[in-house]
Amino acid sequence: MNDPVLTAMRDAIQVDPGGRGLAKDPHDNLFTECAGDFESACRSIADEPHPSLAIVTGFYIPQAGGETDGPLGTLFLLRALVPAGVRCFVFTDVHSKKALDAGFSACGLSAKDCLRTLPPVAHPWWAWLACDWKDFKTGFQPTHLLAIERVGPSRSNGRCLNMRAVDVTDLNNPAHHLFDDAAVSDPPVRTIGIGDGGNEIGMGKIPWHVIRRNIPNGEAIACRVPTSQLIVAGVSNWGAYALAAGVRYLRGVQHDAALFDPARERELLELMVSQGGLVDGPSGKRQATVDGLSFDEYAKPLVRLNEILRG
């Protein structure tokens, strides 16, 4: 597997404008460690006769709200993949639910049919997994489970830590239990992680020493939970953009330039911030930015993906 179109898509998202340290070591880093996983993830969904994708997103910023990185990319996945024949269902937390409701409504998607709130941290998750999650799997029959910008327990102490190594375990639902369940499901559910910092679900696939060497606080925050494929991007939303583009390309879906329109993406971001209370992750401010980037900088991969598909 070495499709030049998919390679170009991967390269478009594997830059680090925020200076996270994703490729601090030029030879042994978060990008190089899973270089083939992007194409593998795209093919895993595209080659499935009847793909059904369950998506988990939402990262709570302490004393602020849900983060803009994750929900916006999730909305794009539905906008791009549902017309490509991929059934999608989204699980999120209460902090990001209102923003996704607003985004779904603006895009003509039914939140009632494909969006559900995860139970709170203090809920007896073993009971929810045994009943609600089991019923969902029976009805929806997911072929894939995807986490986008979703914090997971660290290898250092089993607690969920943000990029500053602040403990946010009690503020973010333990969605990693879904991935633990997927690992033993019969029939199997393939898993995909999308992240940009080392502390997200999926990053357990990367050796601990690689995250420690490249990411500030990596020794403490590195997530222990692996996924079958891991897409590392400079911004997690970018990973969603590229995954959707890759699946559409492989399934032979006619290119829709309007889908990759930065102006429309900005409108949706502003809507999810104003009506849903999302905040920029690094600053914690309620503003229509992602990971502290100017929108022009943020939109560059979206523009590049459009060029790749158009060309």
Chain-wide mean pLDDT for the chain?
A: 97
* Contacting residues for 3 by C-beta, under 8 A, at least 6 apart: 39
Question: What percent of the chain lies above the pLDDT cut of 70?
Answer: 100
Element (H, E) at 271: helix 262-274
For the chain, the structural domain boundaries read: 4-306
Give the pLDDT score at 100: 98
Burial of 138 (0-12, 13-18, 19+ CB in 10 A): exposed
Q: Does the pTM of the predicted model rise above 0.85? A: yes
Q: Do 6 and 191 form a contact (C-beta atoms < 8 A)?
A: no
Give the pLDDT score at 81: 98
Only one residue has tokens 């990008």, namely 31
* Nearest-angstrom CA–CA distance, 187 and 190: 10
165-208 pLDDT, tens digit per residue, is 999 999 999 999 999 999 998 888 999 999 999 999 999 999 99
Question: What percent of the chain lies above the pLDDT cut of 90?
Answer: 97
Taking CA atoms, 146 is separated from 56, 152, 248, in Å, by 6, 13, 17
CATH topology of domain 4-306: inorganic pyrophosphatase (n-terminal core) (3.90.1640)
* Contacting residues for 184 by C-beta, under 8 A, at least 6 apart: none
Mean pLDDT of 82-95: 97
Within 10 angstroms of residue 112's Cβ, the number of other Cβ atoms is 9
Q: Do 64 and 95 form a contact (C-beta atoms < 8 A)?
A: no
Mean pLDDT of 27-44: 97
* Contacting residues for 136 by C-beta, under 8 A, at least 6 apart: 54, 89, 116
Q: What residues pair up with 65 in beta bridges, in sequence order? A: 61
For residue 311, is pLDDT > 90?
no
Q: Do 203 and 215 form a contact (C-beta atoms < 8 A)?
A: no
